[in-house]
Every structure is written in structure tokens, then in C-alpha cells.
Homo-oligomer: A and B are copies of this chain.
Amino acid sequence: MAASKAPLLSSAASSSRYKQCPVGRTLERVGDPWSFLVLRDASQGLTRFDQFEKSLGVAPNILTKRLAGLVENGLLEKRRYSERPPRYEYVLTELGRDFQPVLTALMAFGNRHFFPDGVASALFDIETGLPAEPVLVDKVSGKPIDGRHFAYGAGPAAEQEVLDRVAFVAGQRGEAE
């Protein structure tokens, strides 16, 4: 896990609230759109450089950088699958597989809004064949993750800037009610 590099959002790295944000920390490692698409392809079983290149229509130098970044940040593992000539493949690590809900949420959002004439692809219930309607719920209570049931709050590691933001959000919430 390379916490040292923040090429995508470097100018924000001086803000402690930014550094404390789980969305920011994730985007710092995966936030480039090409990286998202590489992870999407990897989750669909693509492993080789030429497969990603063909799928994405991306310039080889950009793809090389994105693959290296995802390896460095622990989402992909680079494996040699041929000795002579040396050839490598890229497979999702456990961390990379755990990114799937982000991709699924993006897919669901895109399908809800950007395919007015019918979707091209989706997740389907293997048993019933019905398209999935992915929603977030709390694993323990089953409650939907929404503003009625859940509120943004500070965790044990919160520094002052996070505490200020939590107070601000709570104030906004109070006003809205």
C-alpha cells in the first residue's frame, strides 16, 4: 500500500481533512478513470496487456502507467505466466476484488440514467434471470443506507478538520429538518 504517492490529487495532500477522508484516500490510489476501467476489465477476467489495450483503446504508455499504479497500490498482482519469452499477466488481488461494489454502483448509476433506450449490459439474477437493482444496505441491520437511517460522523482517528466538517454537516441536517 503506497501511501507516499498522490499523483492524482497532489495539490490537496497538504489538507489534513483531505488526508483523513476515505473517499480521498481511495481516489488517490484508483481515482483515474482508466484505472477504474482496468479494474472493471480485470473483474471480467481480462489479464493480459494486449487484452486491456484492445478493450480500452488506450495508448500503451498510459496503460503501462495505470497497471503499474494499480500493482503498486495493491489492487493488481503482476505474475509471470511464461518464462521464455517472459510474459506477464495482471490479476486482481483480494483488495482489488473488494473494489467491485464501487464498480457495481457506477454501473447501476450509469444504467439508471444514461441508457434511455434500454441498457446494453447489467447484472442478472442467476436463478430468475431478472436484472439486479443494486442498493446499499447495512450488512448487520439490513437498513437502507440513506439520510433517514444513517448520518455522517467522526471516528476514533478524527482530527480537528474532520470534527469541524461533521459539525457542519450536522448543522445542515438540522436546518433541512
Contacts and interface: CB of A to CB of B under 8 A. Distances in A.
A82 interface: no
A5 B45 CA distance: 29
Contacts of A36: 23, 27, 31
Q: How large is the interface on A (under 10, 10 to 19, 20 to 34, 35 or more residues)?
A: 35 or more
Contact of A121 (B58, B158, B172): B158
Nearest to A23: B106
Interface of A: 1, 3, 8-9, 11-12, 14-15, 17-18, 20-29, 31-34, 36-37, 40, 44-45, 55-59, 95, 98-99, 101-115, 117-128, 130-143, 145, 148-159, 162, 165-166, 168-169, 171-173
